Structure 1
Amino acid sequence: MLDIQKIRADFPILKREVNGKPLVYFDNAATSQKPQQVIDKIVEYYTLYNANIHRGVHALSQEATDLFEASREKVRAFFNIPQAKQVIITSGNTHSINAVASGAHVFVKKDDEVIVSAVEHHSNIVPWQMLCERVGATLKVIPVLDSGELDMKAYEELLNDNTAFVVVNHVSNALGVTNSVEEIIKGAHKHGAMILIDGAQSCGHMKLDMQALDADFYTMSGHKMCGPTGIGILYGKEEALNALPPYQGGGEMIDQVTFEHTTYAGLPHKFEAGTPNIAGGIALGAAVDYLDELGMDNIAAYEHELLIYATEQLKAIEGLKIYGDVANKAAVISFNVTTLHPYDIGTIVDKLGIAVRTGHHCAQPVMERYSIPGTVRASFAFYNTKEEIDIMVQALQRAVSMLS
């Protein structure tokens, strides 16, 4: 069991007020808040051992390198990744996806097919459109049912011998629905296709095992798992990463450079050109330690409890419609109230100290599927409480009365 009040004390931002009201932070799908333990690591790096890594024999460089690589090992263990060299440190989930898509021409050829789902974030649509345009491949889309779940029968029908790559998110950022990724991965591999799973919305909310999952690539966002912004993770099977060409050229990612020819470094450095976000990488290790101590199963269970409670309370509001109201979902509720614009609702509840996200959530095809301009999205984390949900419900009722 989690001691929620003790946990909340670790997050300094939860003590602040917004518009004279205690902050209720329900925008965790956009970014999670950071515990003091993570913040302290950033300050510690710049205070005690600020130096570039991997390139110096002096003490500061050695210390920074050791701490950065220790974080890589923590990530490896946390997600049950076979080897630390399969943990590529990136600037974020979008960077991770683009690193794969930019080099995926080694897997996708002219007249091949790439399958994406209709519930993807733009960052897991646009890079694959760009790839298809470059190589002359065709982009196919798994449709979404009215429930918000993917049409798995249609997915099976889309798969064929021309399928070269499949890309889907583990959890929809717009709806919170958890996709059947195990089934999707097996289907792709049955047809010899590669597969990438976008784990931006799953990595901080459920226990993940890369070896059991068997995806060829899996991307993660550090700032959505209590780590800093500007840091992400790309996991790949060793043979897939070896086949993938580098995304960027520069320092660190090389073996030998001449004006006639350049050879590349081995994993993971082949994909880590230039000076990384060193402080962010070290602090990501602190975030992993924090989540690991709480236990991902405990986090998932408590967030599901919040989801069930919030869903029941919100359904009591007349005219409120939840999109993606299914059993298998993360602690995200995307909704509208009658014909009221989500932006107007979000603006009013902000005046009452409540942070929710409004708009299309970088998932315009999802909104087009439901013929709506956007939604109000409340997304919960393990440091939220049922009392905060009650405050949000009261604020929504007030907003509805003001706008109706």
Structure 2
Amino acid sequence: MRIESIRAVPTLSAFFFDDQRAIVQGAERDGFGYRGDPVTPGFDAIREPGEALTVEIDLSDGTTATGDCAAVQYSGAGGRDPRFVPDDYRSVIEGQIAAEFAGRDPYRFGRNSAILRGIADPITGTDRLHTAVRYGVSQALLSAAATARRTTMTDVLAEEFDTDPANEPVPVFGQSGDARRVNARKMLKKRVPVLPHGLFNSLEKVGREGEKLVEYVRWLAESADEIGTEAGDTDSTDSADSYDPRFHVDVYGTLGELFGPPYDRPEVVDYFRDLQQAAGDYDLSVEGPIDAGGRAEQIHAMSELRDGLGDAGIGVDLVADEWCNTLSDVRAFVDAGAADFVQVKTPDLGGIGRSAEAVLACRGTDTRAYLGGTCNETDTSARACAHVALATDAGQLLAKPGMGFDEGFMIVTNEMRRTLARRRHARGDSRSTETDPEATADD
């Protein structure tokens, strides 16, 4: 089998591109948009409709493999590549990239991924293609490899990185968008393992003294006590009292703006103690508490905060996001012990295989991998990421795309369940470990 041709199709992503810097600096909401001028290069407005670019690889057996080029909602922030403009890259994919891969063997995912990483970007003049382009083309290459091998994308990745894939769905992390109360209650009813993200991306939402975030976490714990123990809300086979969700809120560096350094001083530590007490008996993670303006500065600030919380015996986990974009960034945060979780922000890693490597960089450390991404992806890229999560047995997987919660939760959950069922069938085991507690991977 060989690669015959490659084409690019302008498509839609599931949300918007937002100028994070302008929002954090206090841009005024105007309905669903924002008033004022953007401050991040590449933006014509603070909020712009999301775009994607579908990559289709035609194989010599008549099948077609697909991947989607997509970029994060907050493009151009925290050290990320600039806002992705699909029209700029359609000719690159159908020209330079198509010529490079024509006639190649799709079976060789690792080799093809390495070739993709070596292609320069003619638009920016840099030695690597925009992360969104590498992300989408690599998804299509992974899909092509799975087609050539007649197996799942999970198995292709497991073979490539010598892993033992998960035998159960990876815990899914739901994101609420601004409907943080309505969607959180839906998540609790659906027994979502990790919730609700919350989208606390401005001091207005956090509170000028952080009081709104504390109040929200307290409400969340009360709601979990109320809804999470109700019987009959889902078709889950678990008993009602076995549901024990983890709380995870994203604050987009606003706590750093609220308090300022040093981050191990009593005022900051006491605030995190308030958050932990508000969460009650539930574990709590806080993502992106600080945005220090650079990788080295971010690692120092996060390490300082983590040490301060550890010395005070406060069990709130910190999640690295800003300035933790590339594989080398992830390794730097892990090596420094700067976070309890690192978000592997899949579009920012570029190639889909790089996301797998980033998750595996956490193995053998006390840092856990959160395979994330963005609401601004597509159904195709979300399903590809579900295979990365299974192949690497990641700590948690973001429900994506979109900000409506239900759709993204369905997409990644169903993809994992279908893949696990297919893998069990391939090895002659028709039982599901979700419904049969006696079933094991060795059966």
Same topology, TM > 0.5: no
Given the two structures, how large is their TM-score scaled by the length of structure 2? 0.23
Q: Which structure has more RCO (C-alpha within 8 Å, separation ≥ 6)?
A: 1
Given the two structures, how large is their TM-score scaled by the length of structure 1? 0.25
